[in-house]
Amino acid sequence: MGATTAKSAFGQGVLLGLPFILVIVPFGALFGVVATEAGLNLWATMGFSALVIAGAAQFTALSLMGEDAATWLVIVTALAVNLRMAMYSAALVPHLGAAPLGQRACAAYLLVDQTFAAASATYDQRPEMDLRAKLALFFGIATPIVPLWYVSSLAGALLGASIPEAWALDFALPLTFIAMLGPMLRTLAHVGAALVSIALSLAFAGLPAGVGLLLAGGAAMVTGALIETWSERRA
Amino acid sequence: MNGAEVWIVILALGAGTYLIRFSFLGLIGSRRLPEFVLRLLRYTPVALFPGIIAPLVLSPAATDGQFDPARGLAALFTLGVALVTRNMLAAIAAGAASLYTFLWLLG
């Protein structure tokens, strides 16, 4: 395993990352536009995209801040949206766990839905890859994805300032969440969790902003997990 | 929310998200999570998104909390496209197009 192997793995990673540009650029730009509409200045918008790099959680924070939820509730709820990344982190341990701490720290920063999906699929297909090649592949995948997330957020933020109110951008936020939700509704357990979430968030609408959502989300998570357990027992 | 609070959210969310990403890779190593915990983690987004969406659709701030048929129909149409195509961007594009169509027809 010479330097060439790692170099070619990096190149393969870049190629694997390229198609995600089609998702990252419009999604990042949309965040920039919606954040600007919500009253965030350029620095705050870019702070989100550079430090959080997680579209769904960024939109969650925007939505709760728009409702004037308490600061800690915004943080806790948006973090809950990101808990899935603990699974990604665990799934990468067999592949990258032996790397030096600094490289694992960098990989963790770059661990987003798209880099995880592409890297873990490739590691499964090619068990012969060694640690250096796996690391190079991972950083290769992230190369077209993460910088474009910053750039597209910036473009969206600059553009957002000049979009007139008649465009009804207030509704970009719920439509984006609906569009993210649709593809997730794969099983009965997912649909059950979603229905519980809707019912309870509406039932708890009188509670202080954000509290109802957290309670509804907790109950819905348990519902999803229980339905999954139950349907496995039946199968 | 004022500027300082926004930055508290950004910094706490950034640090917390980083710790989640770093958790197993950096700190916990190959210890296994209990199966039920993994199951709960799998459902976090699908458990939270509908709860975010429902109030925004049923009482939009832009119409002072009154249900707006154009926005409601656009939400339904977006969900339909998202379910059928399983494609987030296609659903956003279709949703935007339907919103403007319904706003124009009903507005």
State pLDDT tens for residues A142-184: 999 999 999 999 999 999 888 777 677 778 888 988 998 998 8
Torsion of CA A211, A160, B74, A60, to 10 degrees: -20
Q: Are A116 and A91 in contact (CB under 8 A)?
A: yes
Do B21 and A89 lie within an 8 Å CB cutoff?
A: yes
Nearest CB to B52; choose among A60, A184, A205: A60
Residues B55 and B91 in one domain: yes
Residues B11 and B58 in one domain: no
Residues B60 and B84 in one domain: yes
At residue A169, the pLDDT reads 75
Low-confidence ranges of chain B (pLDDT < 70): 28-31
Instruction: Answer whether residue B76 is part of any domain.
Output: yes
Residues B51 and B98 in one domain: yes
Enumerate the residues of chain A whose CB falls inside 8 A of the CB of residue B38.
87
Q: With 70 as the cut, is the pLDDT of residue A35 above it?
A: yes
Do A82 and B16 lie within an 8 Å CB cutoff?
A: yes
At residue A104, the pLDDT reads 95
Do B75 and A175 lie within an 8 Å CB cutoff?
A: yes
Instruction: Answer whether residue B14 is part of any domain.
Output: yes
Q: Are A217 and A197 in contact (CB under 8 A)?
A: yes
Residues B18 and B50 in one domain: no
Go through A17-34 and write b for each residue having 16 or more CB atoms within 10 A of its CB, e for each that does not.
beebeebbbbbbbbbbbb
Q: With 70 as the cut, is the pLDDT of residue A78 above it?
A: yes
Nearest CB to B91; choose among A44, A63, A178: A178
Nearest CB to A178; choose among B5, B23, B75: B75
Instruction: Answer whether residue B69 is part of any domain.
Output: yes
Do A202 and B58 lie within an 8 Å CB cutoff?
A: yes
**Mind listing the pLDDT tens digit for each residue in A199-226?**
999 999 888 878 898 899 999 999 999 9
Residues B22 and B60 in one domain: no
Rounded Cα–Cα distance for residues B55 and B65 (Å): 9
Instruction: Answer whether residue B48 is part of any domain.
Output: yes
Q: Which site among B22, B39, B52 would you substitute to test the A interface, given the most A Cβ atoms closer than 10 Å to its Cβ?
A: B52
Do B46 and A193 lie within an 8 Å CB cutoff?
A: yes
Torsion of CA A215, A217, A223, A228, to 10 degrees: -150
CA A127 to chain centroid, in Å, comes to: 27
Across A117-125, average pLDDT: 87
Residues B55 and B92 in one domain: yes
Q: With 90 as the cut, is the pLDDT of residue A20 above it?
A: no
Do A197 and B44 lie within an 8 Å CB cutoff?
A: no
Residues B54 and B20 in one domain: no
pLDDT tier at A5, thresholds 50, 70, 90: confident
Instruction: Answer whether residue B39 is part of any domain.
Output: no
Rounded Cα–Cα distance for residues A194 and A189 (Å): 9
Residues B18 and B49 in one domain: no
- If one counts the domains in chain B, the total is 2
Instruction: Answer whether residue B96 is part of any domain.
Output: yes
Residues B52 and B95 in one domain: yes
Domain boundaries, position B63: 44-106
